Amino acid sequence: QRGLQAVDTARNLTAASQLMQSEMERLRLLNWAQLETLQQSGATSVTTEATAGLARVTCTRAIEDLKTNMKQITLTAVWRGYDGREHTARLITRYSKSGLNDYFYTTH
């Protein structure tokens, strides 16, 4: 049973990571003005695609100002695993007027 849970979690984490990476790549193509417009619109939903055999992953986006000319973008993916528990993964990055900076994942 635990082996199936581990495989399920790994597969869904991979799917969530791919979704967040795709969204981050899309955001990298935006210029500063477009990113500010997206932030001001309050749009937080990220499009998800259903993949056979995987849990439904929902992803939200939050954009906030850290300081002048720097924004922090947080993508949070959530899914319900084989074990029935809710799992989350986060991708956090910092974006300056000169482009995308560092990013890292956290999972729960």
The more confidently predicted of residues 92 and 82 is 92
Q: From CA 69, how far away is CA 67, in angstroms rounded?
A: 6
The residue among 83, 86, 106 whose CA lies nearest residue 20 is: 106
**Euclidean distance between CA atoms 73 and 84, whole angstroms:** 29
The encoded tokens of residue 75 equal: 């993508």
The candidate with the shortest Cα–Cα distance to 86, out of 62, 47, 57, 60, is: 57
User: What average pLDDT does the segment 81-87 reach?
Assistant: 80
Stated pTM of the model: 0.78
Average pLDDT, integer, range 75-98? 84
- Residue 62 has a pLDDT of 93
Under a CB-based contact definition with an 8 Å cutoff, are residues 77 and 89 in contact? yes
Beta bridge partners of 96: 70, 99
Find the Cα–Cα–Cα–Cα dihedral 34, 72, 107, 48, rounded to 10°: -10
Q: pLDDT tens-digit profile of 11-63?
A: 778 888 888 888 888 888 888 889 899 999 987 887 666 565 666 788 899 99
CB half-sphere exposure, 104, CA atoms < 13 A: 1
